Structure 1
Amino acid sequence: MKSGVLLALAAYAIYAWGDGFIKALGGHLSVFEIGFFNILFAGIFLVFLTPDGERWHGFWRMQRPWAVHARALSGLASGVLSVYAFTTIPLAETYALIFLAPLFVTLLSIVVLKEHVGPWRWAAVVAGFCGILLVVRPGFRALELGHFAALAVAFLAAVTIVLMRSLAQEKQTTMLGVLVGYGLIFNGVAAAATSFTLPDWPILVLLAISGVCTAVGHRLQLLATRLSPANQIAPTHYSQIVWAVIIGAAFFAEYPDWLSLVGLVVVGGSGLLTLVREKVRLGTVRWNPFSRNRL
């Protein structure tokens, strides 16, 4: 079981570094170009990391088409908004907002699934939003579009989590293949219609590295879920908050003050409390569509 937790920690560390590379590309390429090339390179590497017992041939055959396509559309929107958030606001603030996803799941569980929510889960929701107020501090600092984009990603993540409850029998290759198709087509068309320019070699190398991070992180996460129970794997996702602070400070001169650090701890704690109370495997659908099988 410990080996699964260690693999999960490694997966989320790799994901965080991939996000750092994406942030570094923000001043060089448009959101759509970053999304297109990241999906392209990640897709190439994922072909060689096919889940055990599955094949890419016939990935379009699905048992619940409406749910698969709905998840793909949610992942597509999440992908575009995530890239925008990562490239416009600090990493730690982006993660803090995206980590509201489990709290949105609680709210959607009430509205969509008609589930009963007890006082502890309500307390987690309130605490999570209070933590966000400490991190972002609206009224004391100017809110940027990137903050609203990250908040939208959290909501889309929750939608995806709810959808995934009806996709347990679908193949990994089916869900990934449809996501790749949506991502390549939309980002490719959008990039071509705006200001597409072929990246030079240094930028292509960074894009390729970010794609490797996506593919390797995804594979490590799948292995982790096979070695350890979901309730042990899910909390490791919040280790990305630590990586966000480290990467942001080391490479982007992003130094959260003590109030922001307290807010990050509160957000992480509220998410962990939600995991414990719901006893389901929650994750977040971040910008890259492959890792969004983190459920």
Structure 2
Amino acid sequence: MIKGVFLGFACYAAYAISDAFVKSLHGTLPAYEAVFFGALLGLTALPFIRKPGDRWREVLQARRPKLWWTRAITGAICNIAAVIAFTALPMAEAFALIFLLPIFVTILSVLFLKEHVGWRRWTAVIAGFIGVLVVLRPGFRALGAGHIAAMVCGLSGAGSVVALRMAGAHEKRISLYGAGVIGPLVTGGVLMLPAFIWPNLHQWWLLAGYGLLAGLAGVLLMLATQIAPANRVAPTQYSQMLWAISFGYWLFGDHLDWPMLIGIALILAAGLFTLVREEQVTRWWRRTPIV
């Protein structure tokens, strides 16, 4: 259990460092291009995720193709939106809006899975959106594409999670991971062609850090959920906020005011409560292979 949780923290540290690498590009490359090369390097994780008996073609094949395509499309949207958000916003602010994901999962579960949601989780949903209003303060500060991108990332990520729930134990890990990589790879590759910019040496270094660390994080998460219940591993994702605040302050000169910190705390508390409450009600973490 302890080892699995530790691997979870290591996984989300790798994800946070990966995000810092892509933020360091400062928008010098189109988001589509960064997503393409990141996904291409993310393929390096496949040999570690592939189990004995898995076939390579199962990266592209699934028993339930519609759900595979849903994960591929939402994964592409989520990755592109995340790159835009991290290059345009302070890291902590981007993470706060992306962490609306568990709240969006609750709403989508009601719409598509017909799941019953009690008053406690609805309260968490409302608290989360109040936190968003405190962070954004529309009418009092300028809002831009980065804010919209961060929320689109959270919403598309939630769609991917709901598709994962519906797939459940019917799909292999290699297929689930493949959908999350092939979607961004193909979409980013097609969209980058009209305005392709050949990266310089420094940009190659940043792209390598972004893609390889994201692939490493995927492997660490798989190992973590193999040796510890996924419901114990999932809350470790909120450690990314500590990394985001640290990297934002020390590397990028980000500054957060008190209202923004209060809003971030509301969003994090609402999301974490939603995760814990869902385990008590649905227990889907235990029966769904998380990648």
TM over 0.5: yes
1:115 Cα deviation after fit: 2.0
The amino acid across from 1:98 in the alignment is I
Summarize the alignment of residues 175-254 of structure 1 with structure 2, pairs less than 5 Å apart.
Answer: 175-193=176-194, 195-254=195-254
Post-superposition CA distance 1:190-226 (Å, at most 9, x none): 1111x21211122111111111211111111111111
1:294 Cα deviation after fit: 5.3
2: distance between equivalents of 1:101 and 1:272? 11
Match of 1:115 in 2: 115
CA contact under 8 A between 2:41 and 2:208: conserved in structure 1? yes
1:176 Cα deviation after fit: 2.6
- Structure 2's unaligned 5+ residue stretches are none
1:52 Cα deviation after fit: 3.4
User: Would the alpha carbon gap of residues 72 and 24 (structure 1) be closer, same or farther in structure 2, given more than 3 Å must change?
Assistant: same
User: Would the alpha carbon gap of residues 136 and 227 (structure 1) be closer, same or farther in structure 2, given more than 3 Å must change?
Assistant: same
Summarize the alignment of residues 1-295 of structure 1 with structure 2, pairs less than 5 Å apart.
Answer: 1-43=1-43, 45-53=44-52, 55-59=54-58, 60-168=60-168, 169-193=170-194, 195-279=195-279, 280=283
CA contact under 8 A between 2:71 and 2:179: conserved in structure 1? no
CA contact under 8 A between 1:18 and 1:213: conserved in structure 2? yes
1:273 Cα deviation after fit: 0.9
1: distance between equivalents of 2:179 and 2:231? 28
CA contact under 8 A between 1:38 and 1:211: conserved in structure 2? yes
CA contact under 8 A between 2:77 and 2:184: conserved in structure 1? no
1:93 Cα deviation after fit: 1.1
2: distance between equivalents of 1:87 and 1:154? 16
2: distance between equivalents of 1:187 and 1:268? 30
1: distance between equivalents of 2:161 and 2:46? 24
1:92 Cα deviation after fit: 1.0
1:54 Cα deviation after fit: 5.3
2: distance between equivalents of 1:68 and 1:110? 21
Structure 1 stretch 182-191 or stretch 31-40: which is displaced more?
182-191
The amino acid across from 2:258 in the alignment is W
- Structure 1's unaligned 5+ residue stretches are 283-292
The amino acid across from 1:52 in the alignment is K
CA contact under 8 A between 1:90 and 1:248: conserved in structure 2? yes
Give TM-score, length-normalised by structure 1: 0.90
* Equivalences, count: 283
Higher helix share: 2
CA contact under 8 A between 1:54 and 1:173: conserved in structure 2? no
Structure 1 stretch 248-257 or stretch 176-185: which is displaced more?
176-185
Cα RMSD for the two superposed structures: 1.8
Matched position secondary structure for 1:68? helix
